[in-house]
Amino acid sequence: MQSPSVSLIRANSYRREVLRNSLETLLEPLGGIAGFVKPGQKVLLKPNLLTGSRPTKECTTRTELVYVVAQMVMEAGGKPFLGDSPAFGSAKGVAIANGYQSILEDLKLPIVEFHGKRYQVVNKEFNHLLLSKEAMEADVVINLPKIKSHVQLVLTLGVKNLFGCVPGKMKAWWHLEAGKDVSRFSSMLVETAKAVNPNLTIVDGIIGHQGNGPSGGEPRHLGILGASANIFALDRTLVEILKVSPDKVPTINASMRLGICPSLAEINFPHLHPEVLQVDDWLLPDRLVPIDFRMPRLIRSTFKHLYIRFIKEPMSAYAKN
């Protein structure tokens, strides 16, 4: 079995032309973008569109990264589209709140709302998942997470970003149903990542989000870009860079328990080794909070999602017109 490769480089700028050069260098040992995208293929770009309420706090994948990746996909003959399922509101509404309007217009980049469909999985704890059919039916999935600390799961990296392929309201139900057991919840996240099976994950670590994330922390310059066809190898590498024990990160612990997380010794690093990029003082949450949603919180979350999606966002769009 071929060892997974994780490409790591230093990168310090979101300027498009500089970022384009960085991404070409990053992807070159993996075969370049053409190694993942063929002419005519429909390509889902899955950024982290967590929230539209803190656009200056680096909570979401930077628009510049999405723009350059979409441009590279188009040049390879692919047909990119943007998709996510934010906890509150619509993908388009959250994207626009985070400054995506211009790139959607410049590139004529479609943005889709995810709709759920049942997919079978092989797991002793559950036998199916409700996942986005748009993600599952895409020819290529390019996962574009942000490096962030997380008050419930310690860190949110590539695997956690694919929770965005679970339709919005189903997220709250998973928190209620599986969140009472962090191990079970993390297994669900790993099974979701396995099922979606992204062809390529490119992590936005030029500026991360540390402390009480995924939205309540602060920006932190890291100067890192990472990429891999193996999402579990990439996540394992990132915790090494942040000097966080993999046992303390539930998603990585689950992937190790399920036998799908390679050890560092099994990973090939064609550019930089994670030791070269290690950060000594990355801030984790000052305390962890429970994953499970109690029923009152679940009801509040559902009504908030419905209010933003069907009242606030349409009224905002109407006011602009």
Amino acid 192: pLDDT: 94
In this structure, is residue 311 part of a structural domain? yes
**Region for residue 280 given its phi and psi (left: phi exceeds 0; alpha: psi -120 to 50; beta: otherwise):** alpha
Amino acid 115: pLDDT: 87
Amino acid 189: pLDDT: 94
DSSP, residue by residue, 243-277: T--GGGSHHHHHHHHTT----GGG-B-SS--GGGG
Q: CATH no. for residue 69?
A: 3.40.50.11440
How far apart CA 256 and CA 172 sit, in angstroms, is 26
In this structure, is residue 26 part of a structural domain? yes
How far apart CA 245 and CA 287 sit, in angstroms, is 16
Amino acid 94: pLDDT: 86
In this structure, is residue 1 part of a structural domain? no
How far apart CA 15 and CA 240 sit, in angstroms, is 27
In this structure, is residue 241 part of a structural domain? yes
Number of domains in the chain: 1
DSSP, residue by residue, 202-239: EEEEEEEEESSTTTSSEEEEEEEEEEES-HHHHHHHHH
**Structural element, H or E, at residue 144:** strand 140-144
Residue 146: how many CB atoms within 10 A of its CB? Answer: 25
In this structure, is residue 106 part of a structural domain? yes
Residue 295: how many CB atoms within 10 A of its CB? Answer: 8
In this structure, is residue 271 part of a structural domain? yes
- For residue 86, name the pLDDT band (cuts at 50, 70, 90): confident
- For residue 29, name the pLDDT band (cuts at 50, 70, 90): very high
How far apart CA 107 and CA 148 sit, in angstroms, is 28
CA–CA distances in Å: residue 58 to residues 139, 160, 202: 29, 17, 16
- For residue 57, name the pLDDT band (cuts at 50, 70, 90): confident
CA–CA distances in Å: residue 192 to residues 81, 118, 244: 20, 12, 23
**Which residue range(s) make up the domain with 262?**
6-320
How far apart CA 305 and CA 13 sit, in angstroms, is 34
Write out pLDDT tens, residues 167-210.
866 776 676 665 568 888 899 999 999 999 999 999 999 999 99
- Sign of the CA dihedral with 264 first, then 69, 52, and 15 last: positive
